[in-house]
Amino acid sequence: MMEDTICAVSTPPGIGGIAVVRISGKDAVAIVDKVWRGRELSRAASHTAHLGEIVEESGEVLDQAVATVFRAPKSFTGEDVVEVSVHGSRWIQREVVNLLVRNGCRVAMPGEFTRRAYASGRMDLAEAEAVADMIASSSRAAHRLAVSQMKGDFSRCLKELRDRLLELASMLELELDFSEEEVEFASREALKELAAQIYATVSRLVESFSTGSAIKSGIPVAIVGATNAGKSTLLNRLVGDNRAIVSDIHGTTRDIIEDIMEIDGLQFQLVDTAGLRDTDDVVESLGIERTMEQIDRASIVIWVVDSTSGRDEIADTWERIHGRIPEDAHLIVAWNKSDALGDGAMYAPECSLHNIMTSDESSDSMSSGNGGELSSSTVTQQLSVDIRPFEGTVSEVHISAATGSGVEELCAKLTDASGIGEWQDSIVVTNARHYEALVHSQESVSRVIEGLSHNLSGDFIAQDIRETIHYLGEITGEITTDDILGTIFSRFCIGK
């Protein structure tokens, strides 16, 4: 099947100005010439485009088109490739493909063009998978990661790791060859240091996956709080649309409402949730259950607090959510309705987190002389100390979802909370298959370090090194099977 000449529409389904039909294989140029009226493509140089017509067997013109010729091996697949640009009519696309099939082509399977590029050595498996990530990218950050991987940055990192592992293995295996002479080609401490460096690199790649996965699919953000705190108003403000119904009636939002927004190239999956309160309403109770599920899944939780409400109400809401927020999540406390406080105050005296989480006596002792208000710096200082038992990262912002005041600062805090900053110049893993292989690699390198520490025989340690090399090779495709390849490329679109 890999020797067949294949064809498929490479542009998205639907009607557009232009559609591209791609043909790849040893007979690609000859088959297109059979249905082409214009300059003979078999005489055309590589990377040249030619205007002509697609003609049916009857001699009737099907469409005016442009054929671009790419000669092997300097093409996407490494084979002869012709890309025919026709008008975007669905009927024309279908008839052109049928015409090519009648003249010797086979319709391509999902991902077959990219699989041929991998098979011909034009790219390794990690770079091939980046092609699919590039097509699916829905934000600038996801696109940037896909470009980096497609350019081979991740593959080069893995090659460096494999080279160092081979160096480590060669030292140990040389010792085995000269075991009777008791020759030591490198000290165990030096080998252990090298293994520790490899472990650190692999571990960092493993740690990057949570960030990479969030960037690739969107960072989940749960907007939570009591009824009428302003959650739906905030969602509408952030996405710039009336996605959620806003009402003064408590319990208006009874189900989750999702939308997507992009900030500085990062995509956030915003989820507006049902307000938290005691209720006998069955439907509202189900909505509150879903709220808790969204908190469990969130990377960032925005707790919207009505700054005009009392301490007891805010403390009650905190009691409901604090045990559900994942420890690795970032909590942003958004003090809402700051415009309703008057006198330029940023929040009401009773609405500091310190006052909510500590006794009245403690609160009074920390109050300043300006009407009992705590300074903004005092509140910030108390955030990570007094929100117990949550031990994750906490920040606060004062907003008015109704007027938009402070929302820009909230967006900045969302970007900071994404965690992408620390990975800005690093390789980030986005693929679950790569992550799984790296975890196995991490485990086997750990055994190498342990073996060196306990002076195990070199042949046992070398086996763990070879296992690590094996798992890294699975990522780039140096070690693979047809089943693995079939699974990977079946997820691609047909024209890619």
Q: Per-residue pLDDT averaged across 102-130, rounded?
A: 91
* pLDDT for position 383: 36
**Is the pLDDT assigned to residue 134 strictly greater than 80?**
yes
Residue where the block lists tokens 């679950």 = 432
**Is the pLDDT assigned to residue 68 strictly greater than 70?**
yes
Q: What is the per-residue pLDDT across 431-451, written as a single tens digit (0 to 9) for each?
A: 999 999 999 999 999 999 998
Separation CA 292–CA 315 (nearest Å): 17
Query: When comparing pLDDT for 455 and 50, which is higher?
Result: 50
242 and 313 fall within a common domain = yes
The amino acid that residue 116 corresponds to is: R
Report if residue 191 sits inside a domain: yes
Residue where the block lists tokens 């609405």 = 351
Question: Would you place residue 15 in the very low, low, confident or very high pLDDT band (cuts 50, 70, 90)?
Answer: confident
Q: What is the per-residue pLDDT across 264-306, written as a single tens digit (0 to 9) for each?
A: 888 898 888 877 766 666 666 677 778 788 888 888 999 988 8
194 and 95 fall within a common domain = no
Q: Are 54 and 82 in contact (CB under 8 A)?
A: no
Q: What is the per-residue pLDDT across 351-361, written as a single tens digit (0 to 9) for each?
A: 445 444 443 43
According to DSSP, the β-strands at 219-225 and 266-272 are parallel
CATH code of 460's domain: 1.20.120.430
Binding residues for GTP: 228-233, 247-253, 272-275
CA distances, 334 to each of 256, 405, 478 (Å): 19, 12, 50
Q: Which of 97, 124, 151 is the last residue of a domain?
A: 124
The amino acid that residue 421 corresponds to is: G
* Axis crossing angle, helix 188-217 with helix 140-150, rounded to the nearest 10: 140
Largest Cα–Cα distance in the chain?
Answer: 95
**Is the pLDDT assigned to residue 373 strictly greater than 50?**
no
CATH code of 347's domain: 3.40.50.300
Report if residue 233 sits inside a domain: yes
405 and 293 fall within a common domain = yes
Query: When comparing pLDDT for 42 and 479, which is higher?
Result: 42
Report if residue 192 sits inside a domain: yes
Residue range of the domain that includes 152? 134-213+428-480
Binding residues for Mg(2+): 232, 253
Question: What mean pLDDT is reported for the chain?
Answer: 80
Residue 306 phi, psi dihedral angles, 5° rounding: -75, 110
* pLDDT for position 237: 86
Average the pLDDT over each of 97-111, 166-180, 290-304, 323-337 and give the range with the smallest value.
Answer: 166-180
CA 414 to chain centre: 16
Binding residues for (6S)-5-formyl-5,6,7,8-tetrahydrofolate: 22, 83, 122, 496
**Is the pLDDT assigned to residue 13 strictly greater than 60?**
yes
Separation CA 103–CA 29 (nearest Å): 12
* pLDDT for position 482: 74
Report if residue 492 sits inside a domain: no
Binding residues for K(+): 228, 247, 249, 252
- For the ranges 146-150, 367-371, 457-461, the maximum mean pLDDT occurs at 146-150
Report if residue 153 sits inside a domain: yes
Report if residue 486 sits inside a domain: no
160-164: which pairs have CB atoms within 8 A and are 24 or more residues apart?
161/198, 161/201, 161/202, 161/472, 162/469, 162/472, 162/473, 164/194, 164/197, 164/198
Report if residue 129 sits inside a domain: no
311 and 378 fall within a common domain = yes
Question: Would you place residue 109 in the very low, low, confident or very high pLDDT band (cuts 50, 70, 90)?
Answer: very high
Q: Which residues contact 60 (CB under 8 A, 6 or more apart)?
A: none
Report if residue 42 sits inside a domain: yes
Question: Would you place residue 148 in the very low, low, confident or very high pLDDT band (cuts 50, 70, 90)?
Answer: confident
Binding residues: 22, 83, 122, 228-233, 247-253, 272-275, 496
145 Rama sector, left if φ>0, alpha if ψ -120 to 50, beta otherwise: alpha
Q: Per-residue pLDDT averaged across 305-322, rounded?
A: 80
According to DSSP, the β-strands at 61-70 and 219-225 are unpaired
20 and 87 fall within a common domain = yes
- The total domain count for the chain is 3
The answer to whether the peptide bond before residue 389 is cis (omega within 30 degrees of 0) is: yes
